Amino acid sequence: MKKIILESHYLASLEYYSLISQAEEIKIPMIDVFKKQTYRNRCYILSANGILSLIIPVNYSVGMGIEDVTIDQNQRWRKDHWGAIYSTYGKAPFFDYFSDDFHISLHKGHKFLIDLNRDLLDLTLKLLRLDIKVIYSKERFQNSKENFLDIISPKESFVNRKIYTPVAYSQLFGREFSPNMSIIDLLMCEGPNSRQILSASFLNNQK
């Protein structure tokens, strides 16, 4: 799998990263229409109280492309998100290695959602040591086997999509492994092992 077309996500899920870990090039459409209750502006982490949803408040109108969606600066989401990340991963094995990078990205004061997501994608690819070309395009992509737009959704289980299969790793909370959390969960818990876990999590790599 050399090229993939898919939308921009906020601190995307392991399903998203297991898919893109197989690619040489990702195309993200800037004119992708923003939709509520998607991964475009939310992620999930495993806190002491269970799975926690982190949602970025945004300003948008129906049919607006993600390139024009702005972050609501009147809400204290940055403080809340960082507080949740700190309380969840402060004692994780790799928190001290990665926390400053994530803190800087989250607090740059991005105006547009796409810019924040881009910053975090660039950061996570760097931490994962994945050499993937990311292109932000204004093309309207037609249906093809490379097109994964609106496929990865929190509205239904990843099991139904047959992209990702969980490879368990040591998480800080819970008696049982919680699959498909945000990439930040894997990085904080596994550090340099994260890339190998993602590759093994891609369903087509399973024997």
- Is pLDDT above 60 for 97? yes
Reported as a pLDDT band with limits 50, 70 and 90, residue 139 is confident
> If you average pLDDT over residues 24-52, what whole number do you get?
96
Lowest mean pLDDT among 25-39, 89-103, 134-148: 134-148
* pLDDT on residue 207: 43
* pLDDT on residue 142: 67
* pLDDT on residue 117: 98
Share above pLDDT 90 across residues of the chain, in percent, rounded to a whole number = 91
CA angle, 29 then 82 then 59, to 5°: 45
> If you average pLDDT over residues 7-22, what whole number do you get?
96
* pLDDT on residue 140: 77
- Is pLDDT above 70 for 29? yes
- Is pLDDT above 80 for 149? yes
* pLDDT on residue 171: 97
> If you average pLDDT over residues 109-116, what whole number do you get?
97
Average pLDDT over the chain, rounded to whole? 94
Reported as a pLDDT band with limits 50, 70 and 90, residue 205 is low
59-68 pLDDT, tens digit per residue, is 999 999 999 9
- Spatial neighbors of 84 by CB under 8 A, at least 6 apart, are 45, 47, 52, 54
Reported as a pLDDT band with limits 50, 70 and 90, residue 136 is very high
Reported as a pLDDT band with limits 50, 70 and 90, residue 71 is very high
CB 87 within 8 A of CB 177: no
The whole-angstrom separation of Cα 16 and Cα 111 is 24
- Cβ-count burial 77-110 (b if 16+ within 10 Å, e if not): bbeebbeebeebbeebebbeebbeebeebbeeeb
* pLDDT on residue 144: 73
